Amino acid sequence: SKTNTQDKVIAVLWFLIERHSTERRAAWWRVEFPINHQFIADLCGITRESTSIVMKELLDKKVIRVPKQSTLEINSERLHTLE
């Protein structure tokens, strides 16, 4: 279901914040390596298409941003409100 998919993606984003990110400013964390939707899908065990839908929703809610191609930044405060 959508909620289950979103929960899986959120869990992966928290993992990325905790283990593979550096804080930039104002609760924004940048993942330290290039990342794409397929990689997140593989970590979640879901399809890339489902991951893309959830990531688009998170982008619209300004929970994530992509300042450069393959660069992912995550807002920890906004991500926390989705839990």
30-81 pLDDT, tens per residue?
A: 999 999 999 999 999 999 999 999 999 999 999 999 998 889 999 999 999 9
Rounded CA-CA distance 23/74 in Å is 9
Tell me if residue 25 falls in helix, strand or coil. Answer: strand
pTM of the model: 0.92
What separation in angstroms does the CA of 60 have from each of 13, 34, 79?
A: 16, 21, 13
